[in-house]
Amino acid sequence: MQDVYVVGAAQSDFGAFPEESYRSLFATALEHALDSVDGQLDRTDIDEAFLGTLGVGGRQLGLSAPSVTEYAGLDGTSATHIENACAAGGSALRQAVQSIRAGMADVALAGGVEIMTDMSGDRTRYWLGVSGETEWERMAGTTFAGVYAQMADAHMGEYGTTREQLSTVAVKNHRNGAKNPHAHLRFECSLEDAVNGTVVADPLNLYDCCPTSDGAGAAILASREVAKELTDDPVRITGSGHASSRVGLFQRPSLTSIPASQGAAKEAYDDAGISAEDVDFAEVHDCFSIAELLAYEDLGFCAPGEAGTYIESGATEPDGERPVNLSGGLKSKGHPIGATGIGQAVEVFKQLRGEAGDRQADGLERGLTHNVGGSGGAVAVHVYEGGWA
Amino acid sequence: MQDVYVVGAAQSDFGAFPEESYRSLFATALEHALDSVDGQLDRTDIDEAFLGTLGVGGRQLGLSAPSVTEYAGLDGTSATHIENACAAGGSALRQAVQSIRAGMADVALAGGVEIMTDMSGDRTRYWLGVSGETEWERMAGTTFAGVYAQMADAHMGEYGTTREQLSTVAVKNHRNGAKNPHAHLRFECSLEDAVNGTVVADPLNLYDCCPTSDGAGAAILASREVAKELTDDPVRITGSGHASSRVGLFQRPSLTSIPASQGAAKEAYDDAGISAEDVDFAEVHDCFSIAELLAYEDLGFCAPGEAGTYIESGATEPDGERPVNLSGGLKSKGHPIGATGIGQAVEVFKQLRGEAGDRQADGLERGLTHNVGGSGGAVAVHVYEGGWA
């Protein structure tokens, strides 16, 4: 099995870009990713590409991947579209890892892209709804925020998690994201703001919800042999985990944990030969504030039910024991569905190389990304370490 | 790198099944695939699943894979949706190969499914159109049959390929498919019928076009170690190739060849350490009659321009030097988009094990599958051999 290294990674700005397309955003991300490679890597060096996107909304549906990659200059390169709703990027990353580990590519591209802000009103709600279960959630009128609201409500009831603890996710992530030049919502918010936001789906308010964003990301992975030629500052992917659980929340045994997060984390930890305590920092899937708290517990950063006190302790602040969402997370950086999982990898790559600018945290050796599809129907977890194996 | 074996493979019937769903068809295919394994393999033994589907038409869009696999009893198993239009199944097969070669799964499932016949009239045409290029083909009014008609017209003009040679594809494949109990169109047709079919997109008539079908397929792949426990009659995947070319036909240098077919074949042959002459039989992507002729040339079965005389010689008949589409191909067996590439693997598996019933051909040791997305935007080619490595 080949070792896998990230040799370049970048994202477009995340935000609302009416003048951009799937193709132009991805081309931008790929160009910046190639620029981020220390050595000289050309588009023609890429053996295989995997593109994560939900890709709905009237554009090219069949052949979503080659129609995007060809525009970015990858004419002829094998390209495959990977979809797992909001985990599409993380799933694409896993496919690139598999391609290199299998020895079938020396250089593999994991990309992700989404355009969301050109869908107005009802249409946005409809498409967001499709990531829930169709028959008994979406068609019964449950919104996606409503699904996560059920989880928040249950967590508050079962463990005494407070309104303030939920809002602390927003405060922390906005504070981090305000330092990220690529973030969609680059502003800080106070705890008072976050507690008193307009209700979206009780108990979740506006500050508990990530925005809908346009954006793209690209991560270039290489075998050890190729990576050695390209960089002296490698980031190795040491663990990859992927799991599914029932798509409908109502079909799962608990409202306060996501089995696929637990399963993917276990596989990734076993693959990397580590346990949760060994993770220095993480980018987790905070599509809603409650999702970040569930991630703390499902990934083993704290015990079940203790996520509220864990965030309150400051443990996941930039100067805490385990910074989470230094990029601003989905909450502030934005959530362009297919690009989100790749955006997480971009942040871990930058932090491990000390290239995260104003939001650089100290002493980071091992990072994790956690990307959730729907309310937990699919989850991808990856573990990264700085340095050669 | 782990060797990869197919230890079980099966398909549902292909046809028009108004009483079936994506979920029920795939569950049927998986059940039959598990039954086809010589030893005892349970659903819980499957480490990872890849599901090829275009998956449009108002069903579950996000999380297409776990929503289908959970219904088939794979709750919790990693499931990822793979899309490359009509090559989705072949692309899913490649991902399963990568997963096992990478050592990340001992048993991987490659599945495919599509429901097409519940889309009536305009809607069917619309969805079939999406596999063409969006901006300059579909939105300009070009149908998918129209794209292949341009290729047929060019091939006839450039090489003198005849109306009868095109129709011989239909005659051969219907004769084969009439012996396949799972085929959608189980009847023979005469050359006279095929030559005089109702015009669809000149020069292509009804007999030059495959049907729109519902159906599902499942192929179970295993590492050598696991395969050894399960069977004494193994089928090894020795070569995997995957390539893309420009999605729009008008963007490509020639109308009479598909660069991605050539690229994927080269990669698969190199991977298997063989050349085209070593292929005993093949299942190729005959969505339109001209597509089978192009495949002969792009896969290297004959020289450019000679496909017409090659089929006329009887070389690809069941008793010829290289039988093609013993299953009936897309033309007779049917073409449920995402299931098609898996259905091809099912046929090769059965032929190599001598389990193809009335359509079993003699002396087959090495088979090939060729699965095309759109008019050639993505192509997957795989090579299979009977016996242990």
Residue B256 near residue B159, CB atoms below 8 Å: yes
Residue B369 near residue B254, CB atoms below 8 Å: no
Cβ-Cβ contacts under 8 Å for A126 (sequence gap 6 or more): none
Q: What is the token pair recorded at A269?
A: 């930890």
| Catalytic-role residue among B182, B335, B370, B382 | B335
| DSSP-derived pairing of the beta strands B215-223 and A366-373 | unpaired
- A239 to chain B, closest Cα gap in Å: 11
Per-residue pLDDT band at A116 (split at 50, 70, 90): confident
pLDDT at A131: 62
Chain A residues with beta carbon closer than 8 angstroms to that of B56:
61
pLDDT at B341: 98
Rg of chain B (C-alpha set):
19
CA–CA separation, B280 and B264 (whole Å): 18
Q: Is B282 helix (H, G, I), strand (E, B) or coil?
A: strand
Is the Cα torsion angle A352, A354, A357, A361 positive or negative in sign? positive
Percent of chain A with pLDDT strictly greater than 70: 96
pLDDT tens readout for residues A329-366? 999 999 999 999 999 999 999 999 999 999 999 999 99
pLDDT tens readout for residues A250-270? 999 999 999 999 999 999 999
pLDDT at A139: 77
For A288, which DSSP code?
A: B
Question: Residue B276: which of B242, B312, B309, B239 has the closest Cα?
Answer: B239
Q: Is the pLDDT of residue A121 over 60?
A: no
Residue for token digits 């990858």?
Answer: A74
Question: Residue B81: which of A126, A130, A177 has the closest Cα?
Answer: A130
Any idea what the Cα angle at residue B310 is, between residues B304 and B315, rounded to 5°?
A: 135
Per-residue pLDDT band at A122 (split at 50, 70, 90): low
Q: Which of A80, A136, A250, A252 to mutate to test the interface with B (most CBs of B within 10 A)?
A: A80
Residue A247 near residue B67, CB atoms below 8 Å: yes
Question: Residue A248: which of A174, A168, A346, A150 has the closest Cα?
Answer: A150
The pLDDT tens digits along chain B (389 residues) read: 789 999 999 999 999 999 999 999 999 999 999 999 999 999 999 999 999 998 754 567 789 999 999 999 999 999 999 999 999 999 999 999 999 999 999 999 999 999 888 765 556 556 666 567 877 887 788 888 999 999 999 999 999 999 999 999 999 999 999 999 999 999 999 999 999 999 999 999 999 999 999 999 999 999 999 999 999 999 999 999 999 999 999 999 999 999 999 999 999 999 999 999 999 999 999 999 999 999 999 999 999 999 999 999 999 999 999 999 999 999 999 999 999 999 999 999 999 999 999 999 999 999 999 999 999 999 999 999 999 98
| DSSP-derived pairing of the beta strands A4-11 and B4-11 | unpaired
Over chain A, what is the mean pLDDT? Answer: 94
Q: Which of B63, B84, B95 to mutate to test the interface with A (most CBs of A within 10 A)?
A: B63
The H or E element containing residue B320 is none
Class of domain A4-119+211-386: alpha beta
Residue for token digits 């295993």?
Answer: B222
Residue B213 near residue B334, CB atoms below 8 Å: yes
Per-residue pLDDT band at A125 (split at 50, 70, 90): low
- ipTM exceeds 0.90: yes
Per-residue pLDDT band at A56 (split at 50, 70, 90): low
Chain B residues with beta carbon closer than 8 angstroms to that of A246:
66, 70, 75
**Do A378 and B63 make contact, defined as CB atoms within 8 angstroms?**
yes
- A144 to chain B, closest Cα gap in Å: 12
CA–CA separation, B270 and B274 (whole Å): 6
pLDDT at B315: 98
CA–CA separation, A386 and A352 (whole Å): 6
CA–CA separation, A55 and A138 (whole Å): 19
Residue for token digits 């997963």?
Answer: B99
Maximum distance among all Cα pairs of chain B, rounded to whole angstroms:
55
pLDDT at B2: 84
Q: What is the token pair recorded at B222?
A: 């295993």
Question: CA B248: distance to chain centroid?
Answer: 21
What ranges in chain B are assigned the alpha helix state H?
22-35, 64-69, 88-101, 121-129, 144-159, 163-177, 191-195, 224-230, 259-272, 289-298, 307-312, 329-333, 337-352
pLDDT at A119: 63
Q: How many CA atoms lie within 13 A of A11 on its CB side?
A: 36
Q: Is the pLDDT of residue A60 over 80?
A: no
Residue B155 near residue B294, CB atoms below 8 Å: yes
Q: What are phi and psi of A148, to 5 degrees?
A: -70, -30
pLDDT at B117: 84
CA–CA separation, B228 and B318 (whole Å): 31
Q: What is the token pair recorded at B239?
A: 């070569």
Any idea what the Cα angle at residue B32 is, between residues B172 and B322, rounded to 5°?
A: 25
The H or E element containing residue A46 is none
Q: Is the pLDDT of residue A142 over 90?
A: no
Question: Residue A219: which of A59, A366, A382 has the closest Cα?
Answer: A382
Question: Residue B367: which of B312, B308, B309, B325 has the closest Cα?
Answer: B325
User: Which of these ranges, A139-143, A176-180, B58-62, has the smallest mean pLDDT?
Assistant: B58-62
pLDDT tens readout for residues A203-222? 999 999 999 999 999 999 99
| DSSP-derived pairing of the beta strands A366-373 and A281-283 | parallel
CA–CA separation, A336 and A333 (whole Å): 10
Per-residue pLDDT band at A59 (split at 50, 70, 90): low
Q: Which residues of A are known to be catalytic?
A: 86, 335
In chain A, where are the structural domains located?
Answer: 4-119+211-386
CA–CA separation, B287 and B331 (whole Å): 6
pLDDT at A194: 98
Q: Among this protein's residues, is B86 annotated catalytic? A: yes
Per-residue pLDDT band at A223 (split at 50, 70, 90): very high
Query: In DSSP terms, which residues pair with A6 in a beta bridge?
Result: A221, A235
* Nearest by CB: A76 against B77, B85, B259: B259
* Nearest by CB: B78 against A76, A243, A374: A243
For A12, which DSSP code?
A: P
